Amino acid sequence: MSNYNHAKRDDTVRVKTLIEQQKDTKTLLYFGEKFIPKLLFVVAFLSILTTVGIVLVLVTETFEFFQRVSVIEFFTGTVLKPLSQNPEFGVLPLINGTIVSSVIAMLVAGPIGIMTAVFLSEYASDRVRRLLKPILELLAGIPTIVYGFFAFTFVTPLLRQFIPELDATNILSPGLVMGIMIIPMIASLSEDAMSAVPNSIREGALALGATKLEVTFKVIIPAAFSGIVASFVLGISRAIGETMIVTIASGSSKNFTFDVTKSMQTMTAYIVEVAGGDASTGSTIYYSLYAVAMTLFVFTLLMNILARFVSRRFREEY
């Protein structure tokens, strides 16, 4: 009888211990349920606050610049001489250099990226896809300064053997290398969009007598069109915002020309030049940095808005 009472007391102690442990666990869970949402809200709010702060700085400093330089002169001027005795602040040479380099990059990255995506999605086996896709995405992890030195020390000397009139610093070489850098983005996003197309659509097209090539270009690509276009737009945004490649390989000549063998300067390269130069705080050239940065911000913002519009407009629901 004594053993029975002793065992009963032990069971009672164990039950009480379990109850206390559950109370502690419930307290921690309750604390977590209340605290984690607040923490996530703070993190999200800080992200928004940072974006708002950046925009406010750009807007206020750009407004100060336009107090000194005419808006019309800035956006229509084809001459940029910020350090001359009679400075001129036309932004068109920078916009021209940015657009030319981005077009060259997309002429390289677009076809290669989409063809790579077609191969990975429609023709490669699972084993080959698992092997090649991570290797391809390694290109996106290479620092851009490495790409810049590659363009300047290898691609430009190589191109000069075929194009003798090519300048030592030019827009063609960094444009080509930027295209190589963007290939993983376009290929990966396009491949994801194609892979999202249901296999039943492929099988139905094949059952109707279409060849593999016809299925790919007449069924799969149109079905994944929104994702493919979004990847192209994001690739263009990446090219527009690229800094180190064009800073190293395209030079600092502010030429308003469409001759890709000549040196040009992009908006990002100009920002680097002014930020690392002798522009004193409060000078007109100092504020021109923010005006160019605001122009670049608007460019990339419009590209992202376009990408979202295209994705929603042409999205296919399966």
Task: Dump pLDDT digits (tens) for 240-257.
Answer: 888 889 988 888 888 888
Statement: residue 300 has pLDDT above 80: yes
* Higher pLDDT among residues 313 and 292, named by residue: 292
pLDDT of residue 17: 58
User: How many percent of the chain have pLDDT more than 90?
Assistant: 19
In this prediction, residue 6 carries a pLDDT of: 47
Q: pLDDT value at position 175?
A: 92
- Res 8 pLDDT > 50: no
Indicate whether 309 pLDDT > 60. yes
Helices (H), 119-171: 126-137, 144-150, 156-162
Q: What is the mean pLDDT of residues 78-85?
A: 82
| CB distance 144 to 180 below 8 Å | no
Residue 103 has pLDDT above 90, yes or no: yes
pLDDT of residue 27: 60
CA separation for the pair 111, 187 (Å, rounded): 10
Question: Which of 6-15, 26-35, 109-118 is least confident?
Answer: 6-15
Query: What confidence score (pLDDT) does residue 20 get?
Result: 56
Residue 28 confidence class, pLDDT cut points 50, 70, 90: low
Question: For position 23, what pLDDT does the model report?
Answer: 52
Band (227; pLDDT cuts 50, 70, 90):
confident
Long-range contacts of 119-128 (CB under 8 A, 24+ apart): 120/187, 120/191, 121/190, 121/191, 121/194, 121/195, 121/220, 122/194, 122/212, 122/215, 122/216, 122/220, 123/212
Q: How much is the average pLDDT of 128-156? A: 86
Q: What is the signed CA dihedral for 90, 94, 100, 102, rounded to 10 degrees? A: -140
Across the range 42-59, mean pLDDT stands at 89
The average pLDDT across 12-22 equals 52
**For residue range 253-284, what is the model confidence (pLDDT) as tens digits?**
888 888 888 889 899 888 888 887 667 777 88
- pLDDT of 22 reads 57
Judged by average pLDDT, the poorest of 28-37, 65-74, 276-285 is 28-37
CA 268 to CA 265: how far, in whole Å? 8
Give the three-class secondary structure for 270. Answer: helix
pLDDT band for position 317 (cuts 50, 70, 90): low
Q: Is the dihedral of CA 147, 148, 149, 154 positive or negative?
A: positive
Place of tokens 């994944």: 224
